[in-house]
Amino acid sequence: MPTMLTIRFLKLHPKAIAPAYATPQAAGMDVAACLEQEIVIPPRRSALVPTGLAIELPDGYEAQLRPRSGLALKHLISLPNTPATIDADYRGEVKVILINHGEDAFTVKHGDRIAQMVIAKVEKAQFVEATHLSETERGAGGFGHTGMAQK
């Protein structure tokens, strides 16, 4: 079993629900909406949904917010900035941007599981200017240069 990382959190609202793993081997914790009133997201619109929580991540880690597959499949609900990053030094309320790609309005209610949160280790990098880069088979090819068909 992997080591369990401890993450401190504050309930900014008494009805807030702490993120939780749905199954023992789940990679992401379910994140729930904390609402006084329902939020209706019209088709092709987005909304900022509060969770009622603030978190304290250890230095060297981030929390990534990702869409829930069931919401994406059944209702075309996603996160436009997926994965969203919560930095270790952020202490404000965790909020989730949901976007409705569907044809029908989507209603978010208090306690609805609206996203997944994955905790990830962050590597720091330093960029160093160079006069040239090493050659590769791919080179500068990108944006579909290999086509869609399996080779």
Nearest to 53 by CA among 93, 85, 91: 93
End-to-end Cα separation, the chain, in angstroms: 38
- 115: buried, middle or exposed (CB in 10 Å: 19+, 13-18, 0-12)? buried
Q: What is the pLDDT of residues 34-64, one digit of tens each?
A: 999 999 999 999 999 999 999 999 999 999 9
Q: What is the pLDDT of residues 107-130, one digit of tens each?
A: 999 999 999 999 999 999 999 999
Nearest to 60 by CA among 83, 90, 88: 88
Nearest to 85 by CA among 97, 69, 75: 97
Percent of the chain with pLDDT over 90: 87
- What's this model's pTM, rounded to 2 decimal places? 0.88
- The DSSP symbol for 136 reads -
Instruction: Look up the CATH architecture of domain 8-121.
Output: Distorted Sandwich (2.70)
Q: Are 41 and 98 in contact (CB under 8 A)?
A: yes
Q: How distant, in Å, are the alpha carbons of 7, 85, 99 from that of 55? A: 7, 13, 23
Q: What is the pLDDT of residues 2-21, one digit of tens each?
A: 678 999 999 999 999 999 99
